[in-house]
Structure 1
Amino acid sequence: MTIMAGLKYYFHLLSVPLILLCLFAQPAAGQQSLKEYLANLDPSISLSYIIQNKHGNILSKADPDKKIPSASIIKVPLLIYFMQKMSDGTFSLQDRYHLKNKDKVGGAGELQFKPSGLSVTYEYLVKEMIRVSDNTATNIIIRKLGLEAFQRWLKENGFKTTQLNRFMMDFEAIEKGKQNYLSPEEINRLLLDLYNGDLLSKKLSLKVIEYLKNCEDTAGLPHLIPEEVAIAHKTGTLDYVRGDAGIIFGKKPIFITVMVENFSELAEADRIISTIGKLAFLEFSR
């Protein structure tokens, strides 16, 4: 090999990492990549989602007005209504509740295993309602607020699809056709109202956002996003629907609600939600 040929080969080797670096420096997933991903989804999957910026501008969507069983995502508007009632002096976060046997229901949460008579604050209850989606805590909160009063609040604030028609784990009500519902558009609107201070004071809005940041179910939106990026969100799961709704606090905050139906297994739904979350973050939030 001549000296000149050797130098060319040497500089070629040096250029390989540089080329790779340049490739990875490009946006990992732009709008086209998100479209490509969605276009290649199994057509039997039913997907409803919406992504917006902090001004409410729609960045991407698919069937966002669809009426879908809400699962535990209904706990987000419930939390906001609770905080609103607290702010008008109806009660305090530090008021205490004594757990009763009749309160305890199955599914998510740890309160169902606690002894009757346990004294807890309402702040503890709303935190657990979000952190581990505690159904017992949620039902206590619903009774404190009043199911019908909460439903009226939703309507008064323009939420027509989002409904609370039953308590958590009320299988008798489900058999009678009573279900809780949402649409991705309405949940996103709720998150935007929260962020922009339209429903609560700035202080209480920040408190609610902190509660949502503590959601321990990270298999959905947070799963493929860097750990240093804060995400305030709430998941919801039924046998036939899986969803996640939240705020991704990248360089540019984005608001995203994703609902998946007709999946074969929960892991499949989580892959879809987490991939959409990653692509949305890479394109719209960095």
Structure 2
Amino acid sequence: TDFQIPSEKVVAGAGIIQILPQKRIWTLEELLHLMIAVSDNTATNQLIELATIAKLQSWLRENNWEDGIQLERQMMDFTTVKQNKISAKAAVTIFQKIMMLSEAYPDLKETIRRPLLNQQFRSNLAGTLEEAGISGLLMLNKTGELKNIQHDVAVFEYKGKTRFAAALTNNTGLEANATAWMQTVGKQLFSEMT
């Protein structure tokens, strides 16, 4: 199925849809990939509209995740005081669920994992490990950020071992401090794996 995104639905912030005005028709898989790999806000909003906030909230309740995840608004919607929130525990739980789905549906495994493996923002949990180019280490992650907020959730796979981590920061005062802390967490996690 293809989705046409009219110009009035294009929002600012992260992503590439806003800088490609000549392309307005996207497949579902492209939108999913853009949402994960480049944190495209327009793609995310299109997918939220498709699923609806009400159905997503119901799904969160059905999975008993409403305490750790609040989905209240679309991306870049600052006309409301409502906020989207997630806890570190909920972020890891969601990531574990995604990895279980990739194993339960082998035909979709690559489709599910590819955007997370192709994440373009690798400076946090995977930061120093990405630069080290460690053979056999797979890192799948998803970041999120707003003013004074940096989040990263990741799964590390190495020599038959799997580890999940979530690092969420708020009002650290200096973005570099949050990045350095997350890189330390990632290094310690990998050290524990080896």
- TM-score under structure 1 length normalisation: 0.62
Measure the CA separation in 2 of the matches of 1:199 and 1:105.
34
Tell me how large the CA RMSD over aligned residues is: 1.8
Superposed, 1:204-283 pairs within 5 Å as 204-225=108-129, 226-227=132-133, 228=135, 229-251=137-159, 252-283=161-192
Shift of 1:208: 1.6
My pick for the range that moved more, 113-122 or 224-233, is 113-122
1:100–1:116 Cα contact (<8 Å) kept: no
Question: Are positions 1:158 and 2:64 aligned together?
Answer: yes
Structure 2 residue corresponding to 1:126, chosen from 5, 20, 32 = 32
Unaligned runs of 5+ in 2: none
Distance 1:122 1:179 in 2: 26
Which amino acid in 2 is paired with 1:111? I
CA distance in 2, matches of 1:241, 1:117: 31
User: Separation in 1 of the partners of 2:53 and 2:103?
Assistant: 19
Matches of 1:187 and 1:258 in 2, distance apart? 9
Partner residue of 1:146?
A: 52
Q: Give the whole-Å Cα distance in 1 for the aligned partners of 2:147 and 2:124.
A: 16
Query: Which string of whole-angstrom CA distances, capped at 9 and with x for unpartnered residues, describes residues 186-245 of structure 1?
Result: 111122222234996243344222221111001111111132321111011121221110
1:100·1:117 contact (CA, 8 Å) conserved in 2?
no
1:26-71 CA-to-partner distances (Å, cap 9, x unmatched) read xxxxxxxxxxxxxxxxxxxxxxxxxxxxxxxxxxxxxxxxxxxxxx
Q: Secondary structure at the match of 1:179?
A: coil
Paired residues, what number? 188
- Aligned partners of 1:255 and 1:235: how far apart in 2? 14
Secondary structure at the residue paired with 2:165? strand
Partner of 1:106: 12
Identical amino acids, percent of aligned pairs: 30
Q: Is the 8 A contact 2:45 2:74 kept in 1?
A: yes
**Which structure has the higher relative contact order (CA within 8 Å, separation 6+)?**
1
Query: How far does the alpha carbon of each residue in 1:150-173 deviate from its partner, in whole angstroms, 9 at most, with x for none?
Result: 111111112122121000000011
Q: Is the 8 A contact 2:15 2:42 kept in 1?
A: yes
Q: CA deviation at 1:115?
A: 2.2
SS of alignment partner, residue 188 of structure 1: helix
Quick check: 186-195 or 251-260, which moved more?
186-195
TM value normalised by structure 2: 0.89
| Cα 1:103–1:179 shift into 2, 3 Å | same
Task: Report deviation, 1:119.
Answer: 1.8
Q: 1:167 aligns with which of 74, 83, 108?
A: 74
User: What is the letter of the counterpart of residue 124 of structure 1?
Assistant: E
Task: Report SS of the residue matched to 1:272.
Answer: helix
